[in-house]
Structure 1
Amino acid sequence: MAEKQGFGFGLGKMKELTEALKKAQQVQEGAKRLQEELEGMEIEGEAGGGLVKVVLSGNQEPRRVEIAPEALNEGAEVLSDLVTAAMKEAYNLSTATMREKMEDLTGGLNLPGL
């Protein structure tokens, strides 16, 4: 007589599924903490040797722009270029920080898109 197979899940598969669900819950909790941490961070980009500084949060929320009085003497076009360069640097640093922290959080998991 043939044995009943049920749904095709053996105890080993259930154990794997349970472990995967636990890990997913840990990652979800860690992601929430990481989001809070990123919101509290300040990441600075600068240009012109510090004439212009742009500060973003760890999740790219603009915080402030600091422009040294000497930068005003450079003219509008140069000042605009300095602000843009500082913004790009802050953005790149912020995304690199976010990526690094996400990799730390998901360490060893093979999740698509992360």
Structure 2
Amino acid sequence: MKARLPQGYSAPRNNMSQMIKQAQKMQEQMEKAQEEINAKEYTTTVGGGVVEIKMTGDKVLRSITLKPEIVDPEAIEDLQDLIVSGVNEVLRQVESETETRMNDISGGLNIPGLY
């Protein structure tokens, strides 16, 4: 008696081809998402709004804006701390959005070195 394959069964070859197509589509979506993230500008403020920092998604620092009331020669260390804090916060924004977008595309697969 011959074994019969279930109706609708596709040979592994077709399955592999489909997996490759899905991987290519996922790669294209990730590249597009990364381009969109890179083009976006991220802004954060620290110190109650006296320091504003803008950075692009590809982590290029665009500007640091200081309100006049924060510029006190006696408080230079405080100002430096605010700037460092702001730069770190805007970097976290970029990294968080990148991770979220890539996880959405990859279905949550943790692929080392992906982004």
Give the TM-score, by structure 2 length.
Answer: 0.79
Q: After superposition, what is the alpha-carbon deviation per residue over 1:16-42, rounded to whole angstroms, capped at 9, x for unaligned?
A: 211111011111211221122012211
Distance, in Å, in 1 between the alignment partners of 2:47 and 2:110 is 40
Partner of residue 90, structure 2: 90
Alignment of 1:63 onto 2:62: yes
Q: How does 1:1-114 map to 2 (within 5 A)?
A: 12-73=11-72, 75-107=75-107, 110-113=109-112
How far does residue 86 in structure 1 lie from its aligned partner after superposition? 0.5
1:34-68: CA deviation from partner (whole Å, max 9, x where unpaired) = 12201221112221011111111123222211111
2 CA distance for matches of 1:72 and 1:102? 40
Identical aligned residues as a percent: 27
**Structure 1 portions without partners, runs of 5+:** 1-10
8 Å CA contact 2:34, 2:98 repeated in 1: no
Contact 1:59 1:95 in 2 (8 A): no
Whether the aligned pair in 2 keeps the contact of 1:44 and 1:90 (CA below 8 Å) is yes
**Secondary structure in structure 2 of the residue aligned to 1:44:** strand
* Superposed structure 1 runs of 4+ greater than 4 Å apart: none
- Number of paired residues? 103
d(CA) in 2 for partners of 1:112, 1:31: 12
Gaps of 5+ in 2: 1-9
**Structure whose residues are more often helix by fraction:** 1
**Superposed CA RMSD:** 1.8
Amino acid corresponding to residue 40 of structure 2 in structure 1: M
